[in-house]
Amino acid sequence: MRAARRQKSRSPLREMPVRNPGQSLEEELQNLIEEPLMPLIFVAAYVVVLALLEWWRWFSSRPPQPILMSVIAVLTVLYVTYSCADLTASAHAPRGRH
């Protein structure tokens, strides 16, 4: 009888916790967002800010080059959009069981 009581009184915190349903998929999607996606978004935002600063220089009669910076910004945003679409497609791709 005492042996049965000792097993019941054992703390559940000593055992490994059970993973939540879908936890591995959630972690994979989080890694997909953190690693390749965030730097792309920051690069696109940075280039757009540079283009806006060049336009401001142009309106304030300083020697501007807004066309060059706008072309670079548009190309960068197109690249980031393409990369985001590719990452989204890979995130929604069906996964096989291992």
Q: Domain-by-domain residue ranges, the chain?
A: 29-91
Which pLDDT tens digit goes with each residue over 58-78?
Answer: 888 777 677 887 888 899 889
Whether the Cβ atoms of residue 65 and residue 54 lie closer than 8 Å to each other = yes
For residue 60, the one-letter residue type is S
SS3 for 45? helix
Q: Token pair of 58, please?
A: 């142009």
What pTM value is reported for the model? 0.48
Calculate the average pLDDT of the chain: 78
In the DSSP assignment, the letter for residue 51 is H
